[in-house]
Structure 1
């Protein structure tokens, strides 16, 4: 008997992708709580691991080695991921505020956002320095500076462990590059007060060996473009300044109404804040019963307790207490591949300690690089013929909107009787109909997408842009939209929350396109599906597929690759940054592009049948052919690499069969990749091709002339 997934009844929202939450997500993927919908909110698609930052700065690691891929981790955990900075929590309304989207509602929330080492009160810091935290922006700024030339001047503010690790890593990296450098560490008190005397002496000697100037018990007056002015009046050369002192909580935490300690969220031994539904962990939390210094080791050790207690807060099990250890092993990088280890006042240093530190760091990161493959359920022993083949060897990807192949659709549409009404003109090749009402010409179309991301807001944006494609391609102005929404089974409260997110987003996208939302229909099913039926008004004759002329230039307004990227994402094989970039392309509306292309001879939107399928449809309707310049066709980041690895969308083979004369392999395979909310493909007078492309690029579209129309039927590649 088929058992549908259990209904969703509670929302758990993880704010921040810090070390604790990353480990919670990994545990959740291996042991999810039925009925709980998990959301993780983070500014970007990855969360850098701070333990390896000094090694990266020193040149021992590549930048990508620091990143926990949150998009991939969220897919493993069955969680939706929202990419954006949190602006605040409304504890009373149980809402998290993220700019540019409706509030995210929660039943239970947890905060693990880390801290910032921005120093807004220090004159000149905002203009001329870069905080060491958040780590991502710092890492890219440092890489740019290190790859420069000439004499370097670097200063680090703050003589704690973080500051000394950074300054030694910078001095080592500059020395390795052979660059002359003045490197300075500045502290307004004594440096290295957190370590015992023996360890501090070892570190001070290592700094001396690296030629680092240490300025202690001296305050900074202000920071200028290429130097720091001390309170003593002394000038310290510094073209690259970073702050590793004065780490502080993010400003929005102060407005949550939660009990705070020096700006940090006070939590009890269960990691609960003053609001029992809101938890906090890592550096942004203050352990009120057992205060401890800010250190990654506590964030990591809190994860099993937080995982257990979040489940308890959602209704499963009893709470557990977190008992932090008294002291912890400090492993301090000394610039080169050498480190100092200290615990309980005893310290050792040398290359062996660096190997140990590297082993600990790599073991932590491998938890996220090597996520366990989750087994697919076995088929019943007795089943009808063809079930194994129909299921295929991978999940039905949503990157093609779970479309059926063009052959099946065309053969069925061809059997339908012609309409008997004179005011309805079907345009089967254009996926639309032309209606004439009281002299006005109206086009009508319908499209829907099966959810391939668990974020209803992102899915709605993509589905709306996807459905509007046919209206824009015909040169019509969007007029009215009715939504069709299927939600997975969920409690009435979660239905309300989800529908509120979907309809607010749909109204925004349709409103921006000039159309009104006029209602719709919702129902429950096994998975989320979002679609729109649309009308558009034609002031001029609609642009049809049949207008292409031999000699025309072919323009494509968006890159290819969404099918292969979404197929890879659903299988946990895509890089999160590639996925985030693909989503940004998909949600880009094509209204402005359609206005620029208003004089085109023929236009289509590139969607489920791929570039080759939609171009062939245009050529067949226009009784012509086309030659494509493969090198000129833009691709989404990561699409070619995934395609070369053999990643394919579900209907790739059907699309391949549409244009069997085209070659396969390499970039050519992406001609058959089904697109979601893809670009417009326009056939325009050849002399207008380049100027229209420039206008499109000025409007923010990565448009290219990708070939030309010929009188000889069929599709060919430029040789």
Structure 2
């Protein structure tokens, strides 16, 4: 989505989802820059806010309360979010190298990739310890540790700075509230713990540690980490059930190969936050302020964000850059496990609850910025409007993918007047997943499909569209043969248009090559938004149709349901307590990108009937099998595989814009408990949904064992073409 509909001319790439970049995205959403395509590259769909991590460990916050939803931010800002990890930069060719996909081109780049606190050089560290940064893995590992329910857990924390002490107190508080008696030891290499904090605050924190029974071992370093102990340089061995490193600030190793000027491995930047390469900026903990060195602290990343935003825009437009002058000191509010805090500035050194309340208000106010706002709906036209316009517009944003289809009843009415095939070599036409043509001793199947973009990432959209188009070929039991591409690009400059089309075709070629097919041509044009489609042919000895299911057959579904609901919720920027929606969207996209080929190869030799579950939902496509086979079906709602959060979102009223039409098309032919959130998902339009196969009961156990994600969800029954839900 380009700002104000202008063509994109330059690629601005933000590498890393740190606090500075999150705030840049937020500001960009409020003030987009015409002509710029914005990209964020980050391994996860959400990023934790460091200021609230001790509160999460202590149990004061739920996980979703401390996570910045980068998917949501990306949609607000019209940015593409690439879920991957940067591994290098080719500055001559202006490429960002990634771990899991081809490089991304940039015209201007900013780095905010954070730091690590791991200790890879210590034997046993990788297998038996966890670092406080990156925060996501630490939080997950901590929750798993709590579930072990150890009555007397032993914890060793490597690093006796403010972070180590704060997390030690938070850990003690959480474990004590659970009725456990923890023994916590902090290791500090210096002669004294808390070396970088004021004396008064240090004394108060040491007192809190003493009251909690937290022990300090100073002048020592860890030399080996085992599953149940930490060996020290002093010769002492500390028993440990949970070993955490908060030992310092380690830059990401790949920065050393960029050719940028570095300071102890961190990117050196000047007052404008530019690196030694004027096309690369850096902010947050990965940057070293060469003009005003400061410790690594989130407060500086937050203060850098407005300057970074201004300077990125200025660099893209030829404007004048601003200088960032960091404050000399800042208020440090260190939580003390319970709802208390110690302050280090302005002479404050209280550990009372009022400082915790101050800290809590500051943190919640910061996080509230990222949950404000909602979806941008199409504005109503001014003046008179034709009757029926509001009903046609609907109350929801128009869905992408298969959620943008015409409903089943409307489609049937539109095609009702088409003549039957007149050629003898056309064995079947509309009504099945693909047309079937005679080809020598076997058959050739042909199908076409295209998708309105559901992501701003052209490469991911190409993979999803190609995977989706191949679904009809696999559903017919055919071997993919050849594909023609149909691509509508949004308005882009000649350079970005070529760049984008190359990404789409390269990714699609990979998908078809993996399936054994070739792209043999296609057509491109420019339009209002990205649309990607493919016409695909396949070869088979015999085509598997929707007809042929027999009473007693087991119904097998190979992918979870819920893509339409999850994507509709993302477009509506839905909020649900306990849920980080961006993570659910990432799981949904990953499911859609999975090929049906391996499952089809196993199911096709056994299936009596098969189809892929797409726009008309599970119920609609199962009714097609029933009608073609002259049978009914029983569907067990409890056995349906569902995407993460899909049922919770359905319970909150989220649904695709096509779901009502899908439900209406099934009226009178489906019965059972249809008012539950789980039942709503059988009408949910799927993009890149799974295969639905009717297989002999005796073959089902082996097939279910061989296809990892497959589930038995019901049976074919005798009788009229209707579904009974149980």
* Deviation (angstroms), 1:580: 0.8
Aligned: 1:674 with 2:685: yes
> Which residue in 2 is equivalent to 1:576?
582
The answer to whether the 8 A contact 2:464-2:688 is kept is yes
1:536 counterpart residue number: 538
Residue 616 of structure 2: which of 604, 609, 614 is its match? Answer: 609
* 1:694 matched to 2:712: no
> Do 1:116 and 1:247's aligned partners in 2 also have CA atoms closer than 8 Å?
yes
Match of 2:675 among 661, 665, 668: 665
Residue aligning to 1:684? 695
Q: Per the alignment, in what secondary structure is the counterpart of residue 37 of structure 2?
A: strand
The one-character-per-residue Cα deviations of 1:72-97 (angstroms, maximum 9, x if unpaired) are 11111111111111111222211111
Q: Hey, what does 1:654 align to over in structure 2?
A: 661
3-state DSSP of counterpart to 1:82:
strand
Question: Which stretch shows the higher mean deviation, 549-558 or 688-697?
Answer: 688-697
Bigger mean CA offset, 426-435 vs 131-140: 426-435
Partners in 2 of 1:665 and 1:35 — Cα distance? 47
Q: Judge conservation of contact 1:196–1:345 (CA < 8 Å) in 2.
A: no
Q: Please list the CA deviations of residues 226-266 of structure 1 after superposition, one character each: whole Å capped at 9, or x if unmatched.
A: 22222221122222111111311111111111111110111
- Contact conserved, 1:399 with 1:567, CA < 8 A, in 2? no
Of 211, 232, 238, 1:236 maps to 238
* Counterpart-to-counterpart distance in 2, 1:471 and 1:152: 56
Counterparts of 1:231 and 1:468 in 2: how far apart (Å)? 59
In the TM superposition, 1:271-286 aligns within 5 A as 271-286=273-288
Change (3 A) 1:532 1:373: closer
Say if 2:329 is the partner of 1:341. Answer: no
Q: After the TM superposition, which residues 130-141 of structure 1 pair with which residues of structure 2 at under 5 Å, given as runs?
A: 130-141=130-141
- Spell out, residue by residue over 1:396-423, the C-alpha distance to the aligned partner (whole angstroms, 9 max, x if none): 1014251111222222323122333322
Does 1:405 pair with 2:407?
yes
Q: Give the equivalent residue in structure 2 for 1:390.
A: 392
Is the deviation greater in 419-428 or in 578-587? 419-428
How many angstroms apart in 1 are the aligned matches of 2:337 and 2:414? 69
Residue in structure 2 matched with residue 591 of structure 1 by the alignment: 597
Task: Assess if the C-alpha contact under 8 Å between 2:421 and 2:429 holds in 1.
Answer: no
Distance in 2 (CA, whole Å) between partners of 1:139 and 1:416 is 59
CA shift for structure 1 position 518: 1.0
SS where residue 130 of structure 2 aligns?
Answer: strand
What's the counterpart of residue 186 of structure 1?
187
CA apart distance, 1:684: 1.2
Alignment-derived partner of residue 114 in structure 1: 114
**Structure 2 residues without counterparts, runs of 5 or longer:** 576-580
Q: Secondary structure at the residue paired with 2:351? A: strand
Aligned 1:355-394 pairs, distance under 5 A? 355-371=357-373, 374=376, 376-394=378-396
**Aligned counterpart, 2:627:** 620
Matched residue, 1:157: 158
Structure 1 position 567 matched with structure 2 position 573: no
SS at match of 2:381: coil
Under a length normalisation based on structure 2, what TM-score does the superposition of the two structures give? 0.95
Tell me if the contact between 2:433 and 2:476 (Cα under 8 Å) persists in the aligned partners.
no
CA contact (8 A) 1:401 1:448 kept: no
C-alpha distance in 1 between matches for 2:175 and 2:336: 14
Structure 2: how far apart are the matches of 1:65 and 1:597?
43
Determine if contact 2:158/2:222 at 8 Å carries over to the other structure.
no
Distance (Å, rounded) in 2 between the aligned partners of 1:286 and 1:529: 42
The C-alpha deviation readout for 1:158-215, integer Å capped at 9, x for no partner, is: 1111111111212222222222222111111122121122221111111111111111
- What's the CA shift for 1:710? 2.0
Are 1:453 and 2:423 matched, yes or no?
A: no
1:204 to 203, 206, 209: 206
SS in 2 for 1:339: strand
* Pick aligned residue for 1:479 from 473, 481, 485: 481
Q: Is the 8 A contact 1:102 1:504 kept in 2?
A: no
Tell me how many residue pairs correspond in the alignment: 712
Structure 1 residues 4, 436: CA separation in 2 closer, same or farther (over 3 Å shift)?
farther
Look up the SS of the partner of 1:486 in the other structure: strand
